[in-house]
Amino acid sequence: MIILFWIYDIIFILGLLLYLPIYFYRKKITPLALAEKLGFIKRNVCEKSIWIHVVSVGEANLIGTLIKKLNETVNYPIVISTTTLTGNIIAKKKYSQKGEVIFFPFDISFVLSRVIKLINPEIFIAVETEIWPNLFYHLKKKNIPIVIVNGRISNKAFRQYKYVKPFIKRTLDSCNYIGVQNQFYKQRFVSLGCKEEKITISGNMKFESLSFDENRLLEVKNKFTPLLKSNLKILITAASTHHPEEEIILDIYKDLIKTSQNTFLLIAPRHIKRVPAIEKTALSLGFNPVRISKLESPPPEDKNVFILDIIGELIYFYSISDICFVGGSLIKHGGQNILEPIYFLKPTVFGPHMDNFADITEVVLNKGAGIKVTDPQKLKEVFLELIKDTSLRNNLRCKCIEVFQGEKQSLEKNLHLILKCL
């Protein structure tokens, strides 16, 4: 079996050498992040800790209430590792007072040996889809428990894992417990060779894990409600958008303001680095793009389109919106999380491509709390209907409440799996 991991190390290192220049070019990694990913974290070996690993922004937001519960229940320092730059930024912003935030190390034996020694974990907690063969192997060798919480396997990952099923089976054998979101994901883990007795259907923590700064929420409401909703304007927020969804939304908005002048549009791209490109698109369509970070007073010009250019602030702007569209769904990206606007009881619209959030989408549609559209034309029709029909918006708000009432106790179930190992 050791030979398998030597081969894995070689393949990983070769792939890293190939893709590292591309990551730097695309600004997906920085020298500081690279140093930490190679195991050079500024940390002295200390007492046992709880190591929680998340990938990006979505998972970083997910663990807020879990960290709170762990701090209340056990007396271990917490180390949070993230894969992406944006995930790291959000984790530091939200949890720097509750734990230490680092970049997740490369899954290479000599790197992991150093990091595991420095972190000295009492337990490793992987959130959602994080299955790392080398890491799991080295943790198991040191008798460090491994728990997967809120587990799921996407369509893409499932297809890839099937090609190396024997290897993945060995990796999953290292886990002590796996908490999955539903029966569908349980069957995926089982079909990859995971022992059924290790798997618990613990529900989806996303329904209970929304956390935010109440003071910041109040600040945003007080400052931006007069600026974005002057004269009782209806604020449409197009959130977590990807190319070319912004152009689609702007084309739709161009038609909307011909028939309904009582609207403002806020675009919140999934990746902040795309803001300049969105500004160019807005200008080419005759709009005046206004960055939220520079908005201190109502802009004097007509045809304003507001752009959220601050990482980690979207949830607060959902709170003052009237209608929300969640992106990554009109294109074949797999969608983005629709729970945050629904938490604030906002009429929420999304496209047909929600594969990455199929379970959440199913609950939302079954409750009648969101609207799924098939194409841009249908999106425009739904926007017009929501703008004109106050009773429809109110009905959707009532349905949003039902979404969270039916999805309770998932946090406690996942926490129970963790505490069984401590």
Listed by start position, the domains of the chain span 31-208+409-419, 215-405
Determine whether 56 is exposed, middle or buried from the number of CB atoms within 10 Å of its CB (0-12, 13-18, 19+): middle
Burial of 325 (0-12, 13-18, 19+ CB in 10 A): buried
pLDDT of residue 210: 79
Which architecture does CATH list for 215-405? Answer: 3-Layer(aba) Sandwich (3.40)
Which tokens sit at 379?
């999106």
Q: Which residues, 6+ apart, have CB-to-CB distance to 296 below 8 Å?
A: none
pLDDT confidence of residue 45: 65
User: CB under 8 Å to 198, separation ≥6 — which residues?
Assistant: 172, 175, 176, 177, 178
* Residue 1 confidence (pLDDT): 64
pLDDT tens, residue by residue, 300-343 = 767 899 999 998 899 999 999 999 999 999 999 999 999 999 99
Where is pLDDT greater, at 406 or 208? Answer: 208
pLDDT at 58: 83
The answer to whether residue 46 scores a pLDDT higher than 80 is no
- Count CB neighbours of 70 within 10 A: 23
Q: Where are the beta strands (DSSP E) in 12-135?
A: 49-54, 78-82, 100-103, 121-127
Pairing between strand 78-82 and 49-54? Answer: parallel
The pLDDT-based confidence of 51 (bands split at 50, 70, 90) is very high
Q: Read off the tokens for 333.
A: 């990206």
**Of 138, 84, 93, 85, which is closest to residue 111 (Cα–Cα)?**
138
Between the alpha carbon of residue 390 and those of residues 253, 265, 402, the distances in Å are 19, 18, 19
Instruction: Check whether 231 has a pLDDT greater than 80.
Output: no
pLDDT digits (tens, 9 = 90+) for 154-176: 888 999 999 999 889 999 999 99
User: Per-residue pLDDT tens for 335-385?
Assistant: 999 999 999 999 999 999 998 888 889 889 999 999 999 999 999 999 999
pLDDT of 146 over the 90 cut: yes
Q: Which residues have C-beta within 8 Å of that of residue 277, sequence separation ≥ 6?
A: 243
Instruction: Kindly report the pTM of this predicted structure.
Output: 0.76
User: Would the pLDDT of 108 be above 80?
Assistant: yes
pLDDT, tens digit (0-9, with 9 covering 90-100), for 70-104: 999 999 999 999 999 999 999 999 999 999 999 99
Please give the mean pLDDT across all residues of the chain: 93
Instruction: Tell me: pLDDT of 142 over 70.
Output: yes
CA 274 to chain centroid, in Å, comes to: 18
Q: What does the radius of gyration of the chain's CA atoms come to, in whole angstroms?
A: 22
pLDDT above 70 for 401:
yes
Categorize the per-residue pLDDT at 34 as very low, low, confident or very high, splitting at 50, 70 and 90: very high
CATH of 31-208+409-419, one of 3.40.50.11720, 3.40.50.11750, 3.40.50.300, 1.10.1660.10: 3.40.50.11720
Q: Quick one: which of 128, 102, 111 has its CA closest to 32?
A: 102
Contact criterion met (CB below 8 Å) for 147 and 124: yes
- Write out the H or E segment, with its range, that includes residue 381: helix 376-388
What angle is formed at CA 180 by the lines to CA 37 and CA 92, rounded to 5 degrees?
A: 35
Q: Is there a common fold for 31-208+409-419 and 215-405?
A: yes
The pLDDT tens digits of the residues spanning 190-227 come to 999 999 999 999 988 888 777 788 999 999 999 999 99
Residue range 174-199: mean pLDDT, rounded: 95
pLDDT of residue 286: 94
